[in-house]
Amino acid sequence: MPRRSLLRSVLFGLALAVFVGGAAQASHYRLPIKDRPIVNADELRALAGQGIGTTLALFQRTAKLADRKELAAKSGIPMERLTELACQVDLLRVIGVGPSMMRLLQLAGVRHAGDLAAAGADDLLTRLEAANAAQKVADVLPRVEIVADWIGKAKALPSLLEGVQ
């Protein structure tokens, strides 16, 4: 193999590795999420009509306040509901947080990744236990070390969600 071809192959492989590796930043799912749907059938159709078929695409179209307003106008989904969905998919950016834990975190008062970043692991685990006792979202709760890991990962994420407290 000539040197240039080898160099191109190596550079292409590195670029591909960086691209694929960079994309693995979060837990994202196709809509609807089978076990824990976050949108109803009407919302799913409205989002699909706007080219949104994954939680990543939903986050990209709802993270900024202006984009949420535009999507509300085009989709017919109320702004308040889109803000709720934006918070949910923001939590899914945290590696290790799936749909069930996202739901449980929200029941425990954690609206989005910023709230998770500000939480204390022991206190949050206590709130998760209380929320799960009331709602029975999860069969198994995370250990405090896992909760602390989620908090650390949330702290490392850039704050991209606009217009929420």
| Dist CA 68 CA 160 (whole Å) | 13
Give the pLDDT band of residue 30 (cuts 50, 70, 90): confident
Q: Is residue 38 part of a domain?
A: yes
| Dist CA 59 CA 94 (whole Å) | 13
CA 43 and chain centroid, separation: 18
| Dist CA 2 CA 14 (whole Å) | 18
The mean pLDDT value for 18-32 works out to 51
Q: Is residue 8 part of a domain?
A: no
Position 13 scores a pLDDT of: 45
How many structural domains is the chain composed of? 1
Q: In this model, does residue 15 exceed pLDDT 80?
A: no
Q: Is residue 72 part of a domain?
A: yes
Q: Is residue 4 part of a domain?
A: no
Question: Tens of pLDDT along 55-68?
Answer: 999 999 999 999 99
Q: Is residue 134 part of a domain?
A: yes
Q: In this model, does residue 93 exceed pLDDT 80?
A: yes
Q: In this model, does residue 115 exceed pLDDT 50?
A: yes
Q: Is residue 19 part of a domain?
A: no
Position 29 scores a pLDDT of: 72
H/E stretch holding 59 reads helix 55-62
The boundaries of the domain holding residue 42 are: 27-156
Position 31 scores a pLDDT of: 75
Q: Is residue 113 part of a domain?
A: yes
The mean pLDDT value for 101-113 works out to 97
Q: Is residue 21 part of a domain?
A: no
